[in-house]
Structure 1
Amino acid sequence: MVEADASWRDESLGARVRVALWLRDEVGEGGVFSKASMREAIKGTEQVDRRMRDLRPAGWAILTYRDKPSLQPDQLYLEKIGLPVWRAEHRAAGLRQISAKTRRYVYERDGHMCRRCGISAAEQYADEPGTHARLTLGHVNPHISGGGANAEDLITECARCNETVKHLTGVQMTKEQVWDRMKELPVQGKRQLLAWVKTDFRPLSPAEKVWGMYRQLPAAVREGLEDDLEALMRS
């Protein structure tokens, strides 16, 4: 059992517990910190940023410059310390375990594409040349503490959208901005969009579905399939 006086310096503790203890002891409610300072303190731990985010569903309020305009882009604000995850009875607070079967089902259901921006696994971002998408699972309602890990609660997201959605207090674009883009669509495009809006679902064509499957394969395998497809088209 991890006691209340446990130290974040104890490397035998889990990363989420160490991050929580560091925030409690070195930052405190109302304190400002940076991810760089947290990484420097919790060295040798992979995905320490994710472990910090895992505290939010346990009631920890950690704000970014998007939530608190007075902050710099590299600063975060510890508004509230939530459940003491260093105690055994709260160790799993807010954590939602996703089974491998559910993970596979959601990826396949969503066509191995980010449901928020449409990018596929390993595809390059148009606005970030050289940066390639990594798919992960997010929650339809990311701000709900203790939400479920059922397929209907999950959505395929790229890591960039997943990070953005977790920090948003509102929508990313205004209603007016989206409406302007809707009006610019041709008539057929408006009809198609309306059908998607009414069903809250964008069906993928067979080619799009195979594209999503193709993009999640290793690069060497994709190259082989490209050659095979070209040969098939020539036959």
Structure 2
Amino acid sequence: MMTKQHKLKGGARALLRAHFLANVGKIMDSHELRAVSGDISEWARRVRELRTEEGYRILTHNDRSDLKPGQYLLETAKPQPAFERAISKETRALVLDRNGFTCQMCGAVAGEPHPYDPTRKTRLHLGHIIDKSMGGTDDATNLRAICSVCNEGAANLTLPRPDLLKLLTQIRRATSADQLEALRWLITKFPKQTREFLP
């Protein structure tokens, strides 16, 4: 028996699919897509499902530099074959474990309240570092953990600047190589101040 939630999910996705297919090659914005979905709060998740589960090449500003944040474009009406979209459970587990079950964009931890939307618990997904439309692969080296907020419409917003505690937390969670890269950047940005700390 289908629940009301499943009907809403399927209905919104079907509405969005039909709208994208009726507007192939046309740039649409988030306000338009939210309205098409019936104003549901998780419209961006339905768009993502069209990309990841059904294989439609719906592009965003992460895929093409000529698209602005909050703009979407269905490149072609023909979805990618399923075998080109599958990421194995083993790869998924490897990437989530490697990333410490932490969003690599905002630092939110799986299961905890999201720092930028405390009403939601953090849910992690896999995101491509180099998008498949730009030649990226489903290999673990091209995947990272991303939370729902960063992966959905909220990713198109400018997030507030982190305070010192959040920033230090992110640096501590980073790999040694990334910490060294951050140090190099800080030394380049603050050469005069750096000399004060060196013997």
TM (normalized to structure 1)? 0.46
CA contact (8 A) 1:136 1:157 kept: yes
Q: 1:1-235, aligned counterparts within 5 Å?
A: 19-25=16-22, 29=26, 34-40=32-38, 47-54=45-52, 59-61=57-59, 68=68, 81-85=74-78, 90-92=79-81, 96-142=85-131, 144-145=133-134, 147-163=136-152, 167=156, 196-198=178-180
Query: Is 1:135–1:159's contact at 8 Å kept on the other side of the alignment?
Result: yes
Contact 2:13 2:47 in 1 (8 A): no
Distance 1:108 1:16 in 2: 30
Unmatched 5+ stretches in structure 1: 1-14, 70-75, 201-235
Cα distance in 2 for residues equivalent to 1:146 and 1:16 = 27
Amino acid at match of 1:156: A
On the 8 A contact 2:101/2:110 being kept in 1, the answer is yes
> 1:16, 1:54 within 8 Å by CA — same for their partners in 2?
no
For residues 109 and 132 of structure 1, what CA distance do their matches in structure 2 show?
A: 21
Q: Percent identity?
A: 25
Aligned-partner residue type, residue 102 of structure 2: M
**Following the alignment from structure 1 to structure 2, what is the Cα–Cα distance between the partners of residues 165 and 93?**
27
* 1:163, distance to aligned residue in structure 2 (A): 2.8
Q: Per-residue deviation at 1:153? A: 0.8
For residues 103-151 of structure 1, the C-alpha deviation after alignment (integer angstroms, 9 at most, x for no partner) is: 1111111121222222211112344333221111111124744521111
The Cα shift of 1:61 comes to 4.3
How does the TM-score come out when normalised to structure 2? 0.53
Moved more, 116-125 or 21-30: 21-30
The 1-side partners of 2:154 and 2:93 are apart by: 22
On the 8 A contact 1:94/1:145 being kept in 2, the answer is no
User: How many residue pairs align between the two structures?
Assistant: 157
The answer (yes or no) to whether the contact 2:16–2:37 under 8 Å persists in 1 is no
Contact 1:93 1:146 in 2 (8 A): no
Show CA shifts across 1:45-68 (max 9, x none).
Answer: 99422234559x8654457xxx55
- 8 A Cα contact 1:94 1:146, kept in partner: no
